[in-house]
Amino acid sequence: MPNRLADETSPYLLQHQHNPVDWRPWGEEALALARRDDKPIFLSIGYSACHWCHVMEHESFENEAIAAQLNADFISIKVDREERPDLDHIYMGAVMALTGRGGWPMSVFLTPDGRPFYGGTYWPPVARMGMPGFPRVLTAVLDAWKNRRAQLHEQAQTLTDHLQAGAVAVGSGRPLDMQLLHAAEGKLEQAFDFRHGGFGTAPKFPHAMGLQLLLRLGRRLKREGLVDMVRLNLDKMAAGGINDQLAGGFARYSVDERWLVPHFEKMLYDNA
């Protein structure tokens, strides 16, 4: 029997309508139910082209035992980040503040009034690759909700204050001067892989905006070194498996640092 997502229009949400998880769309009805039942909220945010979103759905959200645990102890909400980029932005900030990294599926635990207190991205159904199993995460969060509620609310408020302060700073209207551009350039150069191209290590993403910034600064400041970084990056990508030699276009990211093994979904915003 379909769950409450069956009435939604988002293709991503409709993909989850037959999960045994009692998913609810984001809205006052779900938040009011969490307040009434005094339950924490499990918020899962993803999108249709996200590989690991589909993996977590298959491994955990289609698992009857895990679904029963979610249905008994949490109010579960599914959000399509393409439909609600505002929620995606807010809660991604929370996950990055908590863990130092972000990604999808985004998995966040909230108080009934919507304040985040714990989160992450993909969790496997059993512990592996240094990650705890998702059922263990659910058990630990429920224990904290029942037995350390004051500490949990304190963390939620601290995190909310941090996110609000960041939002004020972003909207402060500071002009985009050369000092900021040079600071961004320095960070990009520091992270750049001068052997294989790209930024950091595996997995590697195209990071088109970073390349565009380096290219523009190189032209404006007549610094060929910055242009050479962009050229190296694009040459390595073009020669690697991330470039679809048959159908055209670039995959979303490479599993390895040499651009050889792609994750096969393609994103319009990268290829544009």
**The residue count for the chain:** 272
Answer with the residue of higher pLDDT: 148 or 163. Answer: 148
pLDDT category at 20 given cuts 50, 70, 90 is: very high
Average pLDDT estimate for 247-265:
88
Q: Tell me: pLDDT of 25 over 60.
A: yes
Write out pLDDT tens, residues 232-252. Answer: 999 999 999 999 988 899 988
Q: Tell me: pLDDT of 109 over 80.
A: yes
Write out pLDDT tens, residues 115-128. Answer: 999 999 999 999 99
Q: What is the pLDDT of residue 168?
A: 54
Q: What is the pTM of this model?
A: 0.74
Residue type, 170: V
Write out pLDDT tens, residues 150-166. Answer: 999 999 999 998 888 76
Q: What is the pLDDT of residue 203?
A: 85
pLDDT category at 41 given cuts 50, 70, 90 is: very high
Q: What is the pLDDT of residue 166?
A: 67
In the chain, where are the structural domains located?
A: 4-170, 178-271
Return the CATH superfamily for domain 4-170. Glutaredoxin (3.40.30.10)
